[in-house]
């Protein structure tokens, strides 16, 4: 099983799938992950659990480990806690009916909105048309349905923003700008695009990059994108592109040369030890630091290259400074930055060294100047990742296998039946179940409780789990209870969908595409 990083006996459902091969993240492939651990090790997704104690009123999907990973979510939390602006955005490809998997993302958007975030939900109609070949009529029908469910679940239209990619001119302009920062080889290596890939598909990726940066168009702010891990390649590219749009880079330096972060660490240590070797500790020389490092005798590669760099700099003094690199700044912006830097500074062709600014102050200043001179000043977007639900028939949940998933539009009676017919983690016989307990961790029905049916009630989720693994709960009754809950959830949700219809009609989003 894949939930091995689980601590204590907390109910922690996981994807259920075992037998991991290589994990590949493909935004247009199958939505399943065989081994979540690999996402941490191979892709550098960070564990959500480590942040959990710092989340104010965490959502139950966070508490139950359904939201298992993130990239750089801390700035969003900070903003949330300090009542500063932040945003949440996610997008939906209108390829079918919304189902209980989409509900996870709807809930994530709504929760962030309730925590004070600017909330955005978009319809990825360009992507659905380009990558999945749906007609505009189909897209319109599905889009409306996604939006009804989103509103029915509590999205606040007054405070939030809805748009469809095809109708958002500002978005297209931003996509165009971002597209100028990436080239085809990059797409080929990230997405496996090749000579057969059509240009609209590429354009839909660039559009998604713009979606992800869109909440920051007015002003830069921490922004979280809740998605499944299959979307992580998009997140990584968007983080890169947001960085490439910046006017200035900010780094730390010790002399005129550039060094990578590892070398900088070695050089910083040498600087800190200057009393030990410098003839004048107020003015340690690069070559003195090089000699001292050599005498210390650490002979790893980083130290060796740091020594070489320092030797080459010779008698140049070693002195910490923050450095602004000119990346994409206009001449006016570069001049503007020079003026804006307080205290001692030195101006070079393509960079400026400042001696009286901390790194943090420098980053803030770089962003301010960039904004003043017409740049975006993007912060790298953050993400959170949720687990994929296991299909009710075992295996993955797939929209092409109706019995494997529950659509939010399913007739409540059908929903009831699907749960009743679901695969379980139960034993062959009731006796065995009483003796050994059920395998809740591998049970799609338990997943339904944890992801949806238990709602905010942790005690109930835990009760089901404990009773199951303790052998007190038998699958027949357990499924009956789940099926009833599912039925009332669907009834209730569908009633709410009807109630919000007028709201949706009045919303600013275009419900009918002029395209054919």
322 binds, among ligand TRP, ligand SF4, none (CB under 5 to 8 A by kind): none
Q: Could you tell me which residues are beta bridge partners of residue 324?
A: 250, 352
Tell me if 448 contacts ligand SF4 by CB under 6 A. no
Structure tokens of 339? Answer: 């003026």
Q: What is the DSSP letter of 218?
A: S
Which of 443, 483, 485, 486 is in the footprint of ligand SF4 by CB under 6 A? 443
Q: Closest separation between CB of residue 466 and ligand SF4, Å?
A: 10
Taken in order 499, 504, 505, 511, the sign of the CA dihedral is negative
The DSSP string of 126-171 is HHHHHHH---HHHHHHHHHHHHHHHHHTT--TTT-EEEEGGG-HHH
90 binds, among ligand SF4, ligand TRP, none (CB under 5 to 8 A by kind): ligand TRP
The CA distance from 165 to 149, in Å, is 19
408 binds, among ligand SF4, ligand TRP, none (CB under 5 to 8 A by kind): none
Tell me if 290 contacts ligand SF4 by CB under 6 A. no
91 binds, among ligand SF4, ligand TRP, none (CB under 5 to 8 A by kind): ligand TRP
Q: How many CA atoms lie within 13 A of 9 on its CB side?
A: 10
Which of 121, 468, 483, 500 is in the footprint of ligand SF4 by CB under 6 A? 468
Tell me if 475 contacts ligand SF4 by CB under 6 A. yes
Residue ranges in contact with ligand TRP by CB under 6 A: 27, 89-93, 122, 124, 127, 208, 211-212, 225, 227, 231
Size of the site for ligand SF4 (CB under 6 A): 14
Q: Closest separation between CB of residue 223 and ligand TRP, Å?
A: 10
The CA distance from 162 to 110, in Å, is 13
Task: Quote the crossing angle between the two packed helices 199-213 and 169-179, to the nearest 10°.
Answer: 110
Say how many C-beta atoms besides its own lie within 10 A of residue 505's C-beta: 9
Closest residue to ligand TRP in the complex (CB): 91
* Residue recorded with tokens 């040498």: 270
Tell me if 425 contacts ligand SF4 by CB under 6 A. yes
Tell me if 12 contacts ligand SF4 by CB under 6 A. no
Residue 86 or residue 247: which is nearer to ligand TRP going by CB?
86
Coil vs helix vs strand at 347: strand
Q: Closest separation between CB of residue 102 and ligand SF4, Å?
A: 23
445 binds, among ligand SF4, ligand TRP, none (CB under 5 to 8 A by kind): ligand SF4
The CA distance from 255 to 289, in Å, is 12
Tell me if 237 contacts ligand SF4 by CB under 6 A. no
Residue 158 CA, distance from chain mean position: 25
| Pick from 492, 476, 487, 498: nearest CA to 413 | 487
479 binds, among ligand SF4, ligand TRP, none (CB under 5 to 8 A by kind): ligand SF4
Residue 145 or residue 424: which is nearer to ligand SF4 going by CB?
424
């Amino acid at each position: 099983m894949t939930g091995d990083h689980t601590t204590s006996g907390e109910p922690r459902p996981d994807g259920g799938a075992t037998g991991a091969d290589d994990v590949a993240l493909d935004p247009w492939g199958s939505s399943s992950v065989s081994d979540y651990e690999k996402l941490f090790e191979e892709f550098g997704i960070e564990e959500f659990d480590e942040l959990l104690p710092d989340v104010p009123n965490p959502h139950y999907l966070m508490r139950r480990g359904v939201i298992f990973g993130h990239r750089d979510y801390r700035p969003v939390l900070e903003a949330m806690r300090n009542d500063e602006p932040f945003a949440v955005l996610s997008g939906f490809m209108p390829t079918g009916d919304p189902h209980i998997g989409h509900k996870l993302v709807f809930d994530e958007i709504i929760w962030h909105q309730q925590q004070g975030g600017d909330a955005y939900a978009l319809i990825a109609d360009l992507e659905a048309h380009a990558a999945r070949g749906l007609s505009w009529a189909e897209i319109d029908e599905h889009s409306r349905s996604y939006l009804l469910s989103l509103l029915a679940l509590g999205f606040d239209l007054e405070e939030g923003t809805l748009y469809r990619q095809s109708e958002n001119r500002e978005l297209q302009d931003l996509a165009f700008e971002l597209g100028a920062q990436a080239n085809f080889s990059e797409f080929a290596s990230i997405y496996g695009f090749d000579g057969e890939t059509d240009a609209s598909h590429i354009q839909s990726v660039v559009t998604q990059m713009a979606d992800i940066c869109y909440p920051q168009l007015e002003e830069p702010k921490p922004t979280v994108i809740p998605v499944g891990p299959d979307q992580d390649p998009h997140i990584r590219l968007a983080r890169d592109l947001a960085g490439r749009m910046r006017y200035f880079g900010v780094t730390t330096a010790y002399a005129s040369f550039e060094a990578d972060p590892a070398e900088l660490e070695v050089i910083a240590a040498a600087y800190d030890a200057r009393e030990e070797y410098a003839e004048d500790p107020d003015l340690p020389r690069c070559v003195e630091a090089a000699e001292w490092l050599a005498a210390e005798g650490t002979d790893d590669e980083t130290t060796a290259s740091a020594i070489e760099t320092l030797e080459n700099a010779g008698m140049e003094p070693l002195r910490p400074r923050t450095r602004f690199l000119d990346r994409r700044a206009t001449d006016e912006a570069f001049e503007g930055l020079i003026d804006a830097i307080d205290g001692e500074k030195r101006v070079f062709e393509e960079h400026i060294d400042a001696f009286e600014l901390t790194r943090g102050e420098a980053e803030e200043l770089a962003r301010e100047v960039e904004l003043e001179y017409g740049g975006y000043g993007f912060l790298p977007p953050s993400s959170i990742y949720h687990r994929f639900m296991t299909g009710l028939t075992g295996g993955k949940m797939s929209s092409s296998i109706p019995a494997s998933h529950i659509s939010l539009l399913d007739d409540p009676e059908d929903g009831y039946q699907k749960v009743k017919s679901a695969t379980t983690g139960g034993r062959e016989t009731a006796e065995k179940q009483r003796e050994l307990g059920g395998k809740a961790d591998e049970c799609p029905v338990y997943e339904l409780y944890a992801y949806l049916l238990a709602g905010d009630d942790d005690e109930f989720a835990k009760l089901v789990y404990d009773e199951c693994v303790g052998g007190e709960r038998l699958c027949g009754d357990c499924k009956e209870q789940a099926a009833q809950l599912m039925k009332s959830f669907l009834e209730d949700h569908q009633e709410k969908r009807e109630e919000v219809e007028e709201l949706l009609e009045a919303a600013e989003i275009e419900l009918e595409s002029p395209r054919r």
